[in-house]
Amino acid sequence: MQKLLIVLLFSVVFISGTNIVNAQYTNASKWPAGISYEIFVQSFCDSDGDGKGDIKGMTSKLDYLKDLGIEAVWLMPMNPSPSYHKYDVTDYYGIHPDYGTTADFKNFVNEAHRRNIKVVIDMVLNHCSNQHPWFVDAAKNEDSPYRDYFVWTHKDDPQVKVFVDKINEDSRNRNRWNKVEESDYLYYSYFGSHMPDLNYDSPKLREEIFKIGHYWLTKMGIDGFRLDAARHIFPEERAKESQAWWVYFLNEMQKIKKDVYLVGEVWAPFDQVAPYLKGIPALFNFDLASAIKKAVNEEQSDSLLIKQKKIEEYYTTVNPKFIDATFLTNHDQDRMMSSVDNNINKAKMGAALLLTLPGSPYLYYGEEIGMRGKEPDEYIREPFLWDDIKNDKNRTTWIKPLYNSDSTIEPLAKQLKDKNSLVNYYKSFIALRNNSKALTFGELTPIDLGKSELCAFQRNFEDENLLVIHNLSQTAINISLLESLKEYDMVIFETKGSNLKKNALHLASYSTLVLKK
């Protein structure tokens, strides 16, 4: 009877084998609380047939991103660089010629904004390329005006030997002091000799960095920056100075653009991440990403919700307005599908958790079509499959893929036609989230339903109160709704036929049920 009443009173939208019931289907989300999409430009879309993705290609796919429900894009580095990944910059004001021109990029930003999609670019400020003109000049000339842009020490400095010995005990066995030919000095680089660290003790360098930020925010019209390697601005023993630098940077950028968006990479446990929130209001939640993968692989909710609640409460004490940048995987990690041994049900549950838990979710390009990939990095950044190989004019060919081909995954064009495909599953959950203030902005209250296979929680905001229940297991579960939860008597979203009838919950294997008071 209850199900019948829902059908009579509310419109029903079927997507991807899910059932969304919503009286008023209007966008409740507002970025930066909305969903962002990470793009590796070189692998995304090739517009001119040279085998490499480019800015014009990205522009041609903005309608796809809009239809998916994306509200912002984060673009991996586009600056001139000698490497495929572009994290070793040779010109902070330029666009790599493989990707296009500044005019192409301005057009991309304009077209994105026309669709209400924000643009965030990767800003690599911890280091540059050893081929950057600054470093080339500084390395050959001790009197160079760029000498203090970098960190130097004399080869006879006794601290160098101590440092080298310490690093040799490190599992990565990386010596971070590097020789310069025909010189008695060494330069410091945290990530490899080809990427010398910049020296933030230099006032002149700081001013140069502010000019770079000003250029991209004003001349190019972007909305913010993703800050690479944010915890390595100064050595680890000077962490407080790194944190203070980002407060300084934020204040300077806000002078240029009041609502500038900064999201940072601080890959560390949450208690070490938290202090950076004063200068970088949005930080990626690596702890949650790991916890979600653990939960779906083990089919146990375990302490997932308790841990996330603890993180939220801790972050609030540092910055009450913090933005929790949540994600499943990114360009430095094995892809989600590979992390769950190519089990599409578990990949779906990972997406379901990400898109119903608090935070501002990031999707890594291709996750929505089930792209696979494991380290080394090139193979977690393989070409996006738009269509089958015979018809795909936009597929990049810069690398021969190991994991993603027509024989391993269905390309986007085919998936869009299949209501049960992974991309349509993503679309259904994105639509659910984007049209719910509770899922976008609401507080998290973990609920114990007495079964570890169930991940249940409340999301409440203003007058919208939701109960979300995920069955992470391969076995269907039938339980009675707790007495304290009986007010949740309306199904607004379900997958795989999960339902509520007369206080009895039926949760199909690997399914989600969302109830409303």
Q: What is the pLDDT of residues 422-446, one digit of tens each?
A: 999 999 999 999 999 999 999 999 9
The pLDDT assigned to 27 comes to 79
Distance from CA of residue 272 to its chain's centroid? Answer: 19
Residue of 263, 469, 269, 266 whose CA lies nearest to 357: 469
Distances from the Cα of 359 to the Cαs of 16, 33, 342, 387, in angstroms?
Answer: 24, 7, 26, 32
Please give the DSSP secondary-structure letter assigned to residue 376: S
Q: Please report the beta strands in 305-348, taking only residues with DSSP state E, as ranges in sequence order.
A: 323-325
d(CA 479, CA 451): 9
Distance CA 288, CA 292 (A): 6
Q: Where in the sequence numbering do the catalytic residues fall?
A: 228, 265
SS3 labels along 385-431: CCCCCCCCCCCCCCCCCCCCCCCCCCCHHHHHCCCCCHHHHHHHHHH
Q: Which of 299, 371, 277, 272 is nearest to 328 (CA)?
A: 371
| CATH numbers and ranges of domains, the chain | 2-25+443-516 (2.60.40.1180), 36-127+203-434 (3.20.20.80), 133-188 (3.90.400)
Residue 161: what pLDDT?
59
Ranges of residues in the chain with a pLDDT under 70 are 1-26, 159-174
Find, among 88, 93, 63, 59, the residue nearest to 76 by Cα.
Answer: 88
Type of residue found at 483: E
**18-22, strands of its sheet edge to edge:** 11-15, 18-22, 490-495, 511-516, 464-471, 454-461, 443-447
- The per-residue pLDDT for range 255-310, each reduced to its tens digit, is 999 999 999 999 999 999 999 999 999 999 999 999 999 999 999 998 899 999 99
Tell me if the bond preceding 376 is cis, omega within 30° of 0: yes
Q: What's the half-sphere exposure (Cβ side, CA atoms, 13 Å) at 349?
A: 32
Contact (CB, 8 A) for 369 and 410: yes
Peptide bond between residue 32 and the one before it cis (omega within 30 degrees of 0): yes
- What's the first-to-final CA gap in the chain, in angstroms? 17
Q: pTM for the whole thing? A: 0.93
C-alpha angle with apex 10: 507 to 418, nearest 5 degrees?
Answer: 60
